[in-house]
């Protein structure tokens, strides 16, 4: 692969549509478009109506051409976009003409790779672009749009600057190690380190708790057999997705569907009824139920108020009590039947935070409304707001490594082991820099010489 080739690709999805876009980037982009359109030039950043002709001069399509002159383009190279009529043929014909004229078919992600290599975007923006394309949540889309605008990059740059300042101080003190370090400087560095570490820890904890916002929330429906879990799933979806019957153990495997609530994507997981059983197949389903509940963000536990409050119900409550970091919704189902459950004894057994609703799952409209209302309230609390949010596992690991390096730096700073202190601060800089762009030692030199003017 040659990074100096002129590359081309169809940027819009294949299939029937109003229009398609062919994007071309590289030193020959303008030359090729001029040849295909039989024009001498195009004005930069103007949408120009043009025609595209094939090798024998036959008209292929009437198009709009936009020319972005380097470096004012996504890749910082000359970029031409050809907007043609959608469908299965026109875009492919124009693509083939571009290839015949000397362009090369772009590899997956190659336009963004060139944008990164040219310094147009950093790693955090590359990640934002990839996730924005796949986003299923309105709120996540807004978070990613802010990252694409540079919000995360600005946060990382601010942290880097603080760490570079600490490293420059340390390197200077190593050079003058014969002299005692003033008490106020030592205390100030400790204060800066503590403040930085605590700030990063808050971002890490906040991002960990908001992973449902990033990946989509997992809502697990649990309960003992025959309490109406599948009926609740069908009611939320407003159609019959799961088989329901009065026979206990009808659902033996998890059933998954997705819905949108208040701009958030929620994956609904209906599970097998949880109980003691000797049936091997049912036991496997129950194990999957327990695992799904453990991995979920929200647990919706269904109880049948037309039956006595019994040991199997208490086991479900014990499971909810063990789910410390999950939102719990208790659904008291079958309120259309005579109530046999002792609701006071039930509520006294709920030793954990929860929200409860009383429903009749057969009344699908009311059931769906109540559950979605309570979900909206929970999701409203979980919004990211203006806080910095990490949106990938790589970013989370990088921040965790940064925090660990700062903890080590604090530990060795107490004994003024300057060489080790510099080593751990350098590790922290490299870890946080991996979110945006690699750290170079020249940055520390710039900071050190710029602030202290050594060698005057």
DSSP string, 376-432: HHHHHHT--TTS----SHHHHHHHHHHHHHHHHHHHHHTTT-HHHHHHHHHHHHHHH
Contact 236, 375 (CB under 8 A): no
CATH number at residue 185: 1.20.120.430
Q: What is the pLDDT of residues 347-368, one digit of tens each?
A: 888 888 888 888 888 888 888 8
| Whether residue 34 sits in one domain with residue 89 | yes
Residues 147 and 191 in one domain: yes
Structure confidence at residue 233 (pLDDT): 85
What is this structure's pTM?
Answer: 0.67
Confirm if 249 and 280 have CB atoms less than 8 A apart. no
- 127 in any annotated domain: no
Residue 25 pairs with which residues in a beta bridge? 7, 79
State the average pLDDT for the chain. 83
- Verify that 277 and 298 share a domain, yes or no: yes
Question: Rounded distance, CA 110 to CA 121, Å?
Answer: 13
Residues 169 and 233 in one domain: no
Label residue 69 by pLDDT band (50, 70, 90): very high
Q: Is the pLDDT of residue 103 over 90?
A: yes
Question: Does residue 156 fall inside a structural domain?
Answer: yes
For 367-410, the pLDDT digits (tens) are 888 888 888 888 777 665 667 888 888 889 999 999 999 999 99
Question: Do both 159 and 281 map to the same domain?
Answer: no
Check whether residue 330 and residue 232 sit in a common domain: yes
Given pLDDT bands bounded at 50, 70 and 90, which one contains residue 447?
A: very low
125 belongs to a structural domain: no
CB neighbour list of residue 131: distance below 8 Å, 6 or more residues apart: 140, 144, 214, 391, 392
Residue range(s) defining the domain that contains residue 343? 214-381
Is residue 373 domain-shared with residue 230, that is, in the same domain?
yes
105 shares its domain with 54: yes
**Residue 226 belongs to a domain:** yes
The string of pLDDT tens digits covering residues 161-200 is 889 888 887 877 776 655 566 667 778 888 889 999 999 9
Of the three residues 381, 403, 422, the one that is the final residue of a domain is 381
pLDDT reported for residue 99: 96
Determine the Cα–Cα distance for residues 414 and 405; give it in Å rounded to an integer.
15
Q: What are phi and psi of 123, to 5 degrees?
A: -60, -40
- At which of 94, 120, 146 does a domain end? 120
What pLDDT shows up at residue 199? 92
Quote the strand ranges of 165-278, DSSP E. Answer: 217-222, 255-261, 264-270
In a domain, 126, yes or no: no
Report yes or no: 214 and 139 within 8 Å, Cβ to Cβ.
no
Residue 152 has pLDDT above 60, yes or no: yes
Residue 79's pLDDT band, with cuts at 50, 70 and 90, is very high
Q: At what angle do helices 441-452 and 151-175 cross, to 10 degrees?
A: 60
| Residue 402, C-beta contacts closer than 8 angstroms, at least 6 positions apart | 159, 200, 428, 431, 432
* Same domain, residue pair 315 and 426: no
The answer on 220 and 343 residing in a single domain is: yes
Q: Which of 57-66, 100-109, 332-341 shows the lowest mean pLDDT across its residues?
A: 332-341
Same-domain check for residues 174 and 46:
no
15 domain residue, yes or no: yes
User: In this structure, what CATH number is given to the domain that contains residue 328?
Assistant: 3.40.50.300
Residue 316 placed within a domain: yes
| 317 is a domain residue | yes
CATH of the domain at 90: 3.30.1360.120
Contacts of 56 (CB under 8 A, 6+ apart): none
For 11-54, what is each residue's pLDDT tens digit?
998 888 899 999 999 999 999 999 999 999 999 999 999 999 99
Task: Give yes or no for a contact between 221 and 229, defined as CB atoms under 8 angstroms apart.
Answer: yes
User: What pLDDT does residue 237 have?
Assistant: 83
More confident residue, 314 or 251: 314
Over residues 323-351, mean pLDDT: 84
- Of 120, 144, 162, the position where a domain reaches its end is 120
pLDDT at position 321 is 84
Does residue 4 carry a pLDDT above 90? no
Q: Answer yes or no: is pLDDT of 205 > 70.
A: yes
pLDDT for position 384 = 57
- What is the dihedral sign for C-alpha 62, 68, 74, 77? positive
Same domain assignment for residues 376 and 440: no
Q: What is the pLDDT of residue 444?
A: 46
Instruction: Give, for 63, the enclosing helix (H) or strand (E).
Output: strand 59-68
- The per-residue pLDDT for 63 is 95
Domain count, the chain: 3
Angle, to 10 degrees, between the axis of helix 123-134 and the axis of helix 393-413?
A: 150
């Amino acid at each position: 692969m040659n990074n100096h080739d002129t590359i081309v690709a169809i940027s819009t999805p294949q299939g029937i549509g109003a229009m398609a876009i062919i994007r071309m980037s590289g030193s020959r982009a303008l030359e090729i478009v001029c040849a295909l359109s039989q024009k001498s030039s195009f004005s930069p950043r103007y949408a120009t109506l043009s025609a595209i002709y094939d090798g024998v001069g036959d008209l292929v399509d009437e198009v709009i051409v936009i020319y972005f002159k380097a470096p004012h383009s996504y890749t910082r190279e000359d970029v031409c976009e050809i907007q043609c009529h959608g469908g299965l043929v026109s875009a492919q014909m124009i693509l083939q003409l571009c290839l015949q004229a000397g362009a090369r078919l772009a590899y997956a992600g190659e336009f963004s790779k060139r944008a990164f290599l040219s310094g147009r975007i950093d790693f955090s923006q590359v990640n934002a672009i990839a996730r924005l394309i796949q986003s299923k949540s309105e709120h996540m889309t807004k978070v990613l749009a802010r990252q694409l605008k540079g919000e995360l990059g600005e946060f990382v740059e601010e942290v880097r600057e603080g760490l570079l300042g600490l490293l420059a101080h340390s390197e200077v003190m190593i050079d003058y190690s014969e002299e005692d370090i003033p008490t106020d400087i030592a205390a100030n560095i400790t204060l800066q380190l503590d403040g930085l570490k605590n700030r990063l820890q808050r971002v890490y904890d906040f991002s960990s708790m908001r992973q449902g916002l990033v990946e989509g929330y997992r809502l697990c429906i649990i309960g003992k057999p025959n309490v109406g879990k599948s009926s609740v799933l069908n009611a939320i979806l407003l159609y019959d997705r799961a088989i329901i019957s009065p026979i206990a153990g009808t659902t033996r495997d998890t059933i998954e569907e997705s819905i949108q609530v208040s701009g958030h994507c929620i994956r609904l997981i209906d599970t097998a009824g949880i109980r003691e059983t000797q049936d091997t197949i049912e036991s496997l389903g129950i194990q999957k139920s327990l695992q799904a509940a453990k991995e979920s963000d929200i647990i919706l536990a269904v109880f049948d108020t037309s039956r006595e409050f019994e040991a199997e119900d208490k086991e479900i409550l014990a499971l909810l009590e063990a789910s410390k970091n999950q939102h719990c919704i208790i659904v008291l189902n079958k309120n259309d039947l005579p109530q046999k459950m002792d609701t006071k004894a039930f509520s006294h057994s709920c030793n954990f935070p929860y929200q409860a609703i009383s429903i009749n799952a057969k009344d699908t409209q009311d059931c769906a409304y109540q559950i979605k209302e309570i979900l909206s309230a929970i999701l409203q609390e979980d919004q990211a707001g203006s806080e910095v949010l990490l949106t990938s596992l790589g970013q989370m690991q990088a921040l965790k490594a940064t925090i660990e390096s700062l903890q080590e730096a604090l530990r060795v700073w107490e004994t003024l082991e300057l060489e080790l202190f510099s080593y751990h601060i350098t590790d922290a800089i490299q870890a946080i820099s991996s979110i945006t762009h690699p750290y170079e030692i020249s940055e520390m030199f710039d900071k050190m010489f710029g602030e202290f003017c050594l060698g005057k």
